Amino acid sequence: MPDHSPHPLTKPAIEGAQADVTHHHAFLAQATERLNASIDWQDTVQEAGRLIVPMVADQCILFLIGQNGAIHLEAAFAADPVLAGKLRHVGEAFLQLEHQIQLTQVIVTAHSRHIPAPLGALGRQNGLSSAVLALINELAPNDLLLVPLLVGHRVTGVIAYILTAPNRRFGPDEHGVAEAFARRASVALDHARLYRRVTEAEASERRQARRLAILVEVLQHVHEAGLEGMSGLNRIAELVADLVGEGCGIRLLSTDGLWLETVAVHHLDPLMLHRLQSSLAARQRADEGLSAGVLSSGDPVFQPQVDRAVLLQQVVPAFHQTLDVQRIQGVMIVPLIVIGQTIGVLATQQNAESPPYTLEDLRILQAVASRVALTIHNIRLREAGQTARRQAEATADRLERLQMVTGHLSQAVTRQQVCQVVIEHGVKALGADAGVVAWLSADGTTLQCLNAPEDDVARLHPYAQSFAVSLQTPLCEAARRRKLVIVESRADLQHRYPTFAIADKDSEMHCWVAVPIYCEDRTFGVLGMTFGQARTFSPEDRAFMLALAQQSAQALERAGLFEAETVTRQQAEAVLHRRAAVVADATRELRISLESLQMQLGITGRHPGQSTESEPHQASAGPAMALAEGQISRMTALLDGLAEVSPIGSADSPQPDPPNHF
């Protein structure tokens, strides 16, 4: 009997095969059109994945060969995004094996390889971890086809087609479609790769041009900062942040080398700039944080990819809050070195959205740092020179003012005049708004304000013109301790003299100075001054105050001696005047008495017409009268001489009448 069983190439089978071929051709035509629709790299890769799954395979991994010849996993595709992530993890695990035998064979031979065995067995054979094997079991692959991506005779990668459906296998037709799709995908990916390289080259060229322009501007501002001073470093930090990264900070070592102090900081994000300024406001110990190693060794810190957990352990606690809100990807810190000495650090940071740091970025930052360090050194030298010149000028000015005050004090002969000179010239020399000299009483218990307007006294001591030394005020403390007392601000006054601060609450003064005036063991008083603004005083200012007080003490001592001498002289003159008056009165009375006596003697003398009976008596009285008249003449001459030496005068005194000789 003839065999009537159906032949395999029956008409329905042929029609089915033709339909499959037509379907495959339509799919490949559609794939060609969709793959060539875009030359963007990411779009092309994603479109290839969408075409493969589920038309060619249930899952797919795209391996590519980089410019350095290394194989890397470009993408993994599955209908479920979660499964795609797990598939990617499995693919990365295969790449980490010491020998990728299957991929290497496909790349070397440029031929496809079909691996029908389950991937779990393949994973166990290659020594994958139990966690990866668990993922493979969850993905449940049952058929694998590795197809090379060929551009001409060059292999650019491998597509791993994976089937997971139980009733689905790679037959000859499916194998052919997979290879045909791989040829089309390899051409599209190669075009996209070339376009990406051109685009990246153009972007790199634009980026390099922009960086070059910024670098030129940085160098220009580095030069200008040398003229502007430390304030010019803020613009440099701003340019460096734009040049390499998003944030930049310049921190310098303190003079003792123990602390890092921020002199400039910038971030492209205003919110992050505020946080950085808060974090860097306080100075940091030089032996803490990431900068410690840079300062000690002089080697830079280059971390293009940082682990946030590790970074939190490396930085000081002040930065933790900033790291909580900022996704930092990379950090670079380079030393600022000048003349072989590290004077600080230049630090930059980069967010996760930016490309990772490269060694070129590090070299650029080091070049900028070397110029910034030299600029800072020049700024410090210029500032030191300016400070020295200002100090020399201030010293010369203070000496000139002290000499002028000394000259005025040398002309003052009273305490009032000395106080007036000190207030008018000494206080003005220090730029004070008010001044007063408080004189200490002889018993040392009271201070009396001298030669000062009431307003100035009220600014310095709101209690009264005269007050007890025991009060807690700057003037009283200076008098008690014989020490210079300086209250530099109202807050300082509130802390040290709370009672005085309450009494002085309405005053507009913000700085108080009390200088004791003493010479050897004697305290004369206190020179008080007030200033309308809070201020500090240099050692030279303090020395000038003490020198002014010393000159004032010497002048007050001279004035005291002069006043004592004046009082003594006036007292002596008064005594002499009284004595002269007594002598003048006595002389006048004696002269009158002598004149009367002389007149009496003249009456008893001989006169014409007198009787002769009295001649014997006159003869006996003649010698006695002559003696009396001689004594009277000598007495009169003595009184005349006494009147001539007496200050109460012979000219001013009334002259006695001439003797009357009858």
* Residue 339 located in a structural domain: yes
Mean pLDDT of 54-66: 91
Are residues 421 and 515 in contact, defined by beta-carbon separation less than 8 angstroms? no
Last residue of a domain, one of 315, 350, 383: 383
- List, for residues 179-224, the tens digit of each pLDDT value: 999 999 999 999 999 998 898 888 878 877 877 787 787 777 776 7
* Residue 85 located in a structural domain: yes
Are residues 507 and 459 in contact, defined by beta-carbon separation less than 8 angstroms? yes
Q: What is the dihedral of CA 21, 24, 25, 28, to 10 degrees?
A: -160
Are residues 434 and 455 in contact, defined by beta-carbon separation less than 8 angstroms? yes
Q: Residue 286: which CATH number? A: 3.30.450.40
* Residue 88 located in a structural domain: yes
Q: CA 117, 119, 123 angle in degrees (round to 5)?
A: 120
How does residue 605 score in pLDDT terms, banded at 50, 70 and 90?
low
pLDDT > 60? residue 422:
yes
* Residue 432 located in a structural domain: yes
Percent of the chain with pLDDT over 70: 84
Last residue of a domain, one of 536, 560, 584: 560
Cα within 13 Å of Cα(414), Cβ side: 7
Range name among 59-68, 271-280, 510-519, 617-626 with the lowest pLDDT average: 617-626
Burial of 42 by CB count in 10 Å (0-12 exposed, 13-18 middle, 19+ buried)? exposed
* Residue 147 located in a structural domain: yes
Q: Which domain holds residue 45?
A: 17-198
26 and 159, same domain (yes or no):
yes
pLDDT > 90? residue 477:
yes
244 and 334, same domain (yes or no):
yes
pLDDT of residue 44: 92
Last residue of a domain, one of 560, 590, 605: 560
* Residue 568 located in a structural domain: no
436 and 493, same domain (yes or no):
yes
How does residue 608 score in pLDDT terms, banded at 50, 70 and 90?
very low
* Residue 622 located in a structural domain: no
Burial of 77 by CB count in 10 Å (0-12 exposed, 13-18 middle, 19+ buried)? buried
- List, for residues 525-540, the tens digit of each pLDDT value: 999 998 989 888 888 8
Range name among 92-101, 219-228, 310-319 with the lowest pLDDT average: 219-228
Mean pLDDT of 342-370: 88
pLDDT > 60? residue 1:
no
pLDDT > 50? residue 484:
yes
Alpha carbons 439 and 598: distance in angstroms, whole number: 66
pLDDT > 90? residue 629:
no
How does residue 294 score in pLDDT terms, banded at 50, 70 and 90?
very high
pTM of the model as a whole: 0.52
